[in-house]
Amino acid sequence: MDKEKIKNGVRLILEGIGEDTSREGLLETPDRIARMYEEIFAGMEQSAKIPLEKTFTTDATEMVMEKDITFYSTCEHHLMPFFGKVHIAYIPQGKVVGLSKLARTVEVFAKRPQLQEQLTVQIADALMEYLQPKGAMVVIEAEHTCMTMRGVKKPGTVTATMATRGVFAEDEQMKQDFFHMLKI
């Protein structure tokens, strides 16, 4: 990541809105933001291969669900945070992955400039690619600060997105099972 570019960019934005970048409170701001971006965009330099590579052999053939995975991401249209919960399920086909690795996979994709729709699809596709399950399903519920702080200003509005792959896409009952498990 090019921190100097980020610092220059932040200085330009502050100047653009009419701020005095030499005043005390703003002096360290470009550097602070550059360091923060290293963290919140860390997924730019990561692949879902790392968390999903190590799998365990299993006879389990029923749904594995990890729900309420908290995430924070950044909307690529406004560079404003959006955050909420990810629910992930898959039907193993000989392989499972450590449960914490599903949360790690969410982090890899969330820590990039993102769209909620795209984040949902990328998680589902990564599961299909690295675990080769019979199916995968991802539901994300999130609040977008670019919607709640500006524009239509509707605090608390939740955007929900869904991606289904394999049996979850083919079989309506599987989708119903997902939502049933989610409520337990």
Catalytic residues: 75-78, 116, 144, 146
Which segment (17-25, 71-79, 135-143, 154-162) binds Zn ion by CB under 5 A? Answer: 71-79
In contact, 1 and 41? CB cutoff 8 Å: yes
Binder among 35, 54, 77, 180 for Zn ion (CB under 5 A): 77
**Rounded distance between C-alpha atoms, residue 173 and residue 153, angstroms:** 37
Task: Write out the two tokens for 172.
Answer: 């309506």
- Nearest-Å Rg of the Cα atoms of the chain is 19
- Least separation in angstroms between residue 41's CB and Zn ion is 16
Residue closer to Zn ion (CB basis): 75 or 88 = 75
Binder among 78, 85, 95, 104 for Zn ion (CB under 5 A): 78
Show the site string, 122-151: x = touches Zn ion by CB under 5 A, - = not: ------------------------x-----
Question: What's the DSSP call for residue 63?
Answer: -
Q: Hey, which residues between 83 and 112 contact Zn ion (CB under 5 A)?
A: none
Which segment (18-26, 37-45, 68-76, 135-143) binds Zn ion by CB under 5 A? Answer: 68-76
In contact, 118 and 51? CB cutoff 8 Å: no
75 binds Zn ion (CB under 5 A): yes
Task: Write out the two tokens for 160.
Answer: 């929900």
Q: Which residues contact 62 (CB under 8 A, 6 or more apart)?
A: 91
Residue closer to Zn ion (CB basis): 3 or 78 = 78
Angle (CA) 171 68 139, round 5°:
35
Residues interacting with Zn ion, by CB under 5 A?
Answer: 75, 77-78, 146
